[in-house]
Amino acid sequence: MCSGRVDPSIVMNAFAHGADGVFIGACLLGECHYTDGNYHAQTRVFVTKKILSFCGIRPDRLEIRFMSSAEGPKFVKFASEFMESVKNVGRLGVAEGLAPEELALKLEVARNALEGKKLRWVTGKKVEFATQGNLYGEVFTEHELGRMFDEIVMDECTIQEIVLRGKEKLVSAEELAAALKTSPHRIVRQLADMHRMGMAEIEKVETRTPLWRVRAEGRPLSATLLCEEIAGPGLTRD
């Protein structure tokens, strides 16, 4: 199977079922039978590692290595090194200091963020942005793309954690800030964005504290608005 078919959801399902590490073997860059499948696999691993790191899970639990089908010894070497590395890191959740229920929540946050339309769209465009550029022919450096993905990962993971923590109750910005270990100001900004997307609304106010009701889905974003949400009008395509 082409490594380009390895969806991030497969990786997250492996972690959710107790895997301490996930290793992906791919053909050499530039030698993919399907032209660029391994480049897309590399991008998905790049994004998934950022998600894991943001959720407090060690990103070195996921690795991709490139080799040809004739390099059996190299595969054995890469796989053995990875297994030893994961063994040294320790059990998933234990090494991160996450209790089982918190680990389960973080893994669900990561999976939901990776399955979201926004992150899937921009992940699929990374290779294009780095090689062909945007509508205006502007090619983005790895540093620029890295910064863009950092911002998107932070927003998408925060949204998904807010949704999960507010799934069965009303929540306040202060409560969410304490749970996510961030500032109330940032949570308020995120809730305002979610309100604009139809994902959050103030249900009532108690002792001057707004209580929010959140939901997993809101109004669908148009293609143009999605581009602008991600990186401004410069990335808008026909």
Kindly list the domain boundaries of the chain, sorted by start residue: 3-100, 116-235
Looking at per-residue confidence, does 16 or 135 come out higher? 16
Strand partners, 23: 63
Nearest residue to 43 (alpha-carbon basis) of 26, 22, 67, 58: 26
235/136 Cα distance (integer angstroms): 8
Task: Count CB neighbours of 112 within 10 A.
Answer: 20
62-66 and 22-26 strand pairing: parallel
pLDDT (0 to 100) of residue 223? 46
pLDDT over 90 for what percent of the chain? Answer: 69
Residue 203 in contact with residue 170, Cβ under 8 Å? Answer: yes
Nearest residue to 172 (alpha-carbon basis) of 181, 182, 184: 184
Q: Which CATH topology does 116-235 take?
A: Arc Repressor Mutant, subunit A (1.10.10)
**Would you give the end-to-end CA distance of the chain in angstroms?**
33
Per-residue pLDDT of 24-63, as tens digits, reads 999 998 888 777 888 989 999 999 999 999 999 999 999 9
Strand partners, 64: 24
H or E segment and range at residue 155: helix 142-165
Task: Using the predicted structure, report yes or no on whether residue 210 has a pLDDT greater than 90.
Answer: yes
47/108 Cα distance (integer angstroms): 16
Output the six-digit token pair for 169: 């109750």
